[in-house]
Chains A and B, each alone.
Chain A
């Protein structure tokens, strides 16, 4: 981080958009000592303050990205906390919630502690670790939920793995419930989806690729929803990708079960046809689905059935992607593009700006108990200033991530972040 003076920062002529309160008005916002000191239509000028003329652009809470892979420890050739946080700053993400499926996995308090110290020393945005739900991500024995929470873990997940044993999952949920800990689960019956390379269906058949059926996701999700009802645990389905899944979540919510779900920007904006001629940058977990599924996800986001929109940031180096489709690694980067790509839904008129920003900031912050996602006096000044309409063309080579496996290379996007502020300090553009 660059040294900066500690002068107050006054944003004037800003379109203040707070998805938590519904505020949407032209006004000013004063940042002092790292927190939001004042905001509203009229904020008296402060003598010492550095003034930023927002020219009517949107000033909103910084984004909270639930479930990004940051490479540390063990995969520093793909990403580091430093590079991920630089990408985040450019993309308007002020809080990264890191996945624990690292090497070694984050399944012990010492590793949480290590990550917190690495983040303190190298990150320009907030980085909070999630911890493994089971030891070694092996799906057999629960981790030290109490000690991990104390060390700073904000949620529990086995990353891209599902806990196959219903008995283990039940016990982990029962135990986590006592601590009111959030469990984020990848929902796919790995056995049923084994060997699959893309969404099962006509296209996979034409391409001669083995499929991963929607039913594999529905099976695991339905089991989890029953266990959530049985145990009373706080449960979040990390990434849903199909119409069937959002239907299941909607029913569980209507029945009063404490469940939430998320979807990635890629699954909301792309479909299986993008795989085209075996383009491995579109090979994801879960796989991109049929256009009908994508439409159902967008509708579910608009209706509030989908609570969280995330990047599912998964940096892969070129070698693991330049392979025959079925052998290539899954995953795409996305932290730097989540806002701009997500805004496609707003420009298309499918989702309101408030709804999108809530799913990218307010809702994940609330789930994790983080002081973010709202423009409130006294809250940490994690802010983004962006022009939702500015057009640009994405060039993968210019992305800050250490890996460049974006599905949006050469995409025409609308919406650019002009400034990102974390705890009152400007982290982008780099001062």
Chain B
């Protein structure tokens, strides 16, 4: 493998990455190309670059997420940044301090990049207004999770060679999913044909106006699909509140071999993790030959490196 060069510069006139909404197709493609380089870098013995040397990256997680937080941590460290993790979910900051107080406190410590996860939609954008550094949205409520959508796109691109024209079925709890929203926007921007498949109780009102075709059965929704993207169903939504039971949900919407057979024979299966085996996905599929779930995790690091590097271009003294 040849030594990867520095990523080709592309125009990215944004200080923050708060969502996929507002990014142009060219900007998305630029980030994906940069991420390709990061994949190559990450597969070498020497995985480090110095782009972020001397920079401080704070991972501020108001909601616990081991996977996303470690992915951002590895990404930052591979670029040479000093990474600090703050899990507010179990700190004293949880007790009474507002998001803006936290932002002000943190800002005084002069970080260069803050990666934020918050349970409330819009909270990351609110925080971004009050700090002097770059902010990356690592998920805000049911709003956006832009790096997840980028890593999903990179995974699809590497498996299928393109995104334009593909039929992508996003299945499950669309109502509560930031992953679904970011993916819908990104995949539409790159020309995919996006579907959502879910019981009506798990679909937000007016979802069809977001540029998706709506299906309420897996048989119809998966017919002819190139990509089947499963969403996680939270435990507290399973027993009678949004769906009657795990048993009924799995029967109608859980992805098993029989339902996957409705999709194209070369369809790939994705899941943002962590999976509920036997709820939204069967092990035979999650661990099967069509699954790209492990690849998604690897692409996650690469995409986050690309995002951090790209935002660092605009940092003071860059």
Q: With A141-B239, A146-B252 given, is the CB distance from A174 to B201 under 8 Å?
A: yes
Point out the residue from B201, B242, B244 that lies within 8 Å of A144, measured CB to CB.
Answer: B244
Decide if A145 is an interface residue (CB 8 Å cutoff).
Answer: yes
Decide if B266 is an interface residue (CB 8 Å cutoff).
Answer: no
B201→A147 contact, CB < 8 A: no
Q: How far is the CB of A153 from chain B (nearest CB, A)?
A: 12
Chain B, range 278-310, C-beta contacts under 8 Å to A:
none
Decide if A260 is an interface residue (CB 8 Å cutoff).
Answer: no
Point out the residue from A142, A177, A231 that lies within 8 Å of B244, measured CB to CB.
Answer: A142
Chain B, residues 243-255, CB within 8 Å of chain A (1/0): the string is 1110110011000
A141→B241 contact, CB < 8 A: yes
B248 closest partner in A (C-beta): A144
**Chain B residues with CB below 8 A from A144, complex form:** 244-245, 247-248
- Docked Cα-Cα span, A140 to B200, in Å, equals 18
Decide if A161 is an interface residue (CB 8 Å cutoff).
Answer: no
A171→B201 contact, CB < 8 A: yes
Q: How far is the CB of B192 from chain A (nearest CB, A)?
A: 25
- Docked Cα-Cα span, A175 to B199, in Å, equals 7
B200→A177 contact, CB < 8 A: yes
**Chain B residues with CB below 8 A from A146, complex form:** 244, 248, 251-252
- Docked Cα-Cα span, A175 to B244, in Å, equals 9
Chain A, residues 122-144, CB within 8 Å of chain B (1/0): the string is 00000000000011000011111
Decide if B240 is an interface residue (CB 8 Å cutoff).
Answer: yes
- Docked Cα-Cα span, A358 to B239, in Å, equals 39
Q: With A134-B240, A141-B239 given, is the CB distance from A178 to B245 under 8 Å?
A: no
**Chain A residues with CB below 8 A from B314, complex form:** none
**Chain B residues with CB below 8 A from A145, complex form:** 244, 248
Chain B, residues 197-226, CB within 8 Å of chain A (1/0): the string is 001110000000000000010000000000
Q: How far is the CB of B134 from chain A (nearest CB, A)?
A: 40
A171→B242 contact, CB < 8 A: yes
Interface of A is mostly: helix
- Docked Cα-Cα span, A177 to B214, in Å, equals 15
Chain B, range 64-118, C-beta contacts under 8 Å to A:
none
**Chain B residues with CB below 8 A from A231, complex form:** 200
B251→A147 contact, CB < 8 A: yes
Q: How far is the CB of B58 from chain A (nearest CB, A)?
A: 38
Q: How far is the CB of A219 from chain B (nearest CB, A)?
A: 24
- Docked Cα-Cα span, A146 to B245, in Å, equals 10
Q: Give the bracket for the number of chain B residues in contact with chain A.
A: 10 to 19
Interface of B is mostly: loop
Chain B, residues 172-214, CB within 8 Å of chain A (1/0): the string is 0000000000000000000000000001110000000000000
- Docked Cα-Cα span, A422 to B239, in Å, equals 40
A175→B201 contact, CB < 8 A: yes
Q: How far is the CB of B205 from chain A (nearest CB, A)?
A: 9
- Docked Cα-Cα span, A145 to B249, in Å, equals 11
**Chain A residues with CB below 8 A from B252, complex form:** 146
Q: With A174-B201, A175-B201 given, is the CB distance from A143 to B244 under 8 Å?
A: yes
Q: How far is the CB of A146 from chain B (nearest CB, A)?
A: 5
**Chain B residues with CB below 8 A from A171, complex form:** 201, 241-242
Point out the residue from B200, B240, B251 that lies within 8 Å of A142, measured CB to CB.
Answer: B240
- Docked Cα-Cα span, A153 to B4, in Å, equals 63
B247→A147 contact, CB < 8 A: yes
B248→A147 contact, CB < 8 A: yes
**Chain A residues with CB below 8 A from B243, complex form:** 142, 175
B216→A178 contact, CB < 8 A: yes
Q: How far is the CB of A109 from chain B (nearest CB, A)?
A: 9
- Docked Cα-Cα span, A338 to B242, in Å, equals 39
A174→B200 contact, CB < 8 A: yes
Q: How far is the CB of A179 from chain B (nearest CB, A)?
A: 9
Chain A, residues 157-171, CB within 8 Å of chain B (1/0): the string is 000000000000001
A108 closest partner in B (C-beta): B245
Chain A, range 238-294, C-beta contacts under 8 Å to B:
none
B240→A141 contact, CB < 8 A: yes
Point out the residue from B199, B200, B240, B251 that lies within 8 Å of A135, measured CB to CB.
Answer: B240
Chain B, residues 138-152, CB within 8 Å of chain A (1/0): the string is 000000000000000
Q: How far is the CB of A404 from chain B (nearest CB, A)?
A: 39
Chain A, residues 177-206, CB within 8 Å of chain B (1/0): the string is 110000000000000000000000000000
**Chain B residues with CB below 8 A from A142, complex form:** 240-241, 243-244
- Docked Cα-Cα span, A145 to B241, in Å, equals 13
A171 closest partner in B (C-beta): B201
- Docked Cα-Cα span, A225 to B55, in Å, equals 60
A143 closest partner in B (C-beta): B244
Most buried by B among A135, A143, A178, A231: A178
**Chain A residues with CB below 8 A from B247, complex form:** 144, 147
**Chain A residues with CB below 8 A from B200, complex form:** 174-175, 177-178, 231
Q: How far is the CB of B219 from chain A (nearest CB, A)?
A: 13
- Docked Cα-Cα span, A172 to B216, in Å, equals 15
Most buried by A among B239, B243, B247, B251: B243
**Chain B residues with CB below 8 A from A135, complex form:** 240
Chain A, residues 225-238, CB within 8 Å of chain B (1/0): the string is 00000010000000
Q: How far is the CB of B101 from chain A (nearest CB, A)?
A: 33
List 5 tightest A-B contacts by C-beta distance, closest first: A141-B240, A144-B244, A144-B248, A174-B200, A175-B201
Besides A143-B240, A146-B252, 6 other CB < 8 A contacts? A135-B240, A141-B240, A142-B240, A142-B243, A144-B244, A147-B248
Q: Provide a sorted-by-A list of 11 A–B residue pairs whose CB atoms are within 8 angstroms.
A: A140-B240, A141-B240, A141-B241, A143-B244, A146-B248, A146-B252, A147-B248, A175-B200, A175-B243, A175-B244, A178-B200
A residues whose Cβ falls under 8 Å from a Cβ of B: 134-135, 140-147, 171, 174-175, 177-178, 231
B residues whose Cβ falls under 8 Å from a Cβ of A: 199-201, 216, 239-245, 247-248, 251-252
